[in-house]
Amino acid sequence: MTFGARFAAALADRGQFCVGIDPHSALLHDWGYDDDVAGLERFALGAVEAVAPYCSVVKPQSAFYERFGSKGIAVLERVIADSRAAGALVLLDVKRGDIGSTSQAYADAYLDPSSPLASDAITISPYLGFGSLLPFVDTARRYDAGLFVLAATSNKEGPEVQEAVTSEEFGGRTVASAMLDHLRELNSGATPLGSFGAVVGATIDGSGLDFDLNGPILAPGYGEQGGTSSDILRIFGASARNVAASSSRGVLRLGPDPVAMRDAVLRANDELRTLLG
């Protein structure tokens, strides 16, 4: 199955809530763990055990594992493997973006099934030009993996780039609109859903942007950061059914209690299901 098909099936089966497993130093301490590799392992694997059987998508942020070097990456490999074994899709949040052979090397590291870091999908940055992402696109197609391209993020610095208007040569549209247009083209004709998605903040205004991509959408900022189910419907309209609403701290702050974290996932799925159908 393509990633788009797996994504659509996972949302239909498990709901539209995505849990970020981000081992912030402060959260490790909140759980009563030391900020070291042993604490990282207990935290990350405990979170996986609590939430991965119940959510459609798990999204580990690579940076919080990389800060511990090779031993941290080894924990990340286990997070990926254990999450997939529990039935969740793994979206590895790496936000890579480069050109040529370097892009290809990143794509091989995260999307080739022979890699210990192989995930169902990754986040990537298009701001060296969308064409620089072609090695990622080709590799994702080869291995039925997915990509989530930064398009309209909710951080306050984002509009400086994303709302800038391109020259007439590139359509005279905002950068965010250009990214969405490229994704729409990549997903054209795919059923039930294309494999090339967008990252769009759950708290943005969203006016003037067309989110009918025939592809998946990741909406970070849901829950603790202020995004609501009503915002998902307001921003994405008919495309809201293709949105994975993502939260990290809203779930992880309830740890290390696995029941509390599990129940938070179930509540979020119920809330999204009630409003979005």
Q: Which of 59, 71, 95, 156 is catalytic?
A: 95
- The β-bridge relationship of strands 196-200 and 146-152 is parallel
Beta bridge partners, 147, equal 122, 196
**95 carries an active-site annotation:** yes
Q: What CA–CA distances, in Å, run from 210 to 86, 143, 184?
A: 34, 28, 10
How far apart are alpha carbons 45 and 83 in whole angstroms? 9
Cα-flanking dihedrals φ and ψ of residue 217, to 5°? -130, 135
End-to-end CA distance of the chain: 24
**224-227 long-range contacts, Cβ below 8 Å, gap at least 24?**
224/248, 224/249, 224/250, 224/253, 225/154, 225/249, 226/202, 227/154, 227/201, 227/202, 227/203
Q: Which residues are catalytic?
A: 95
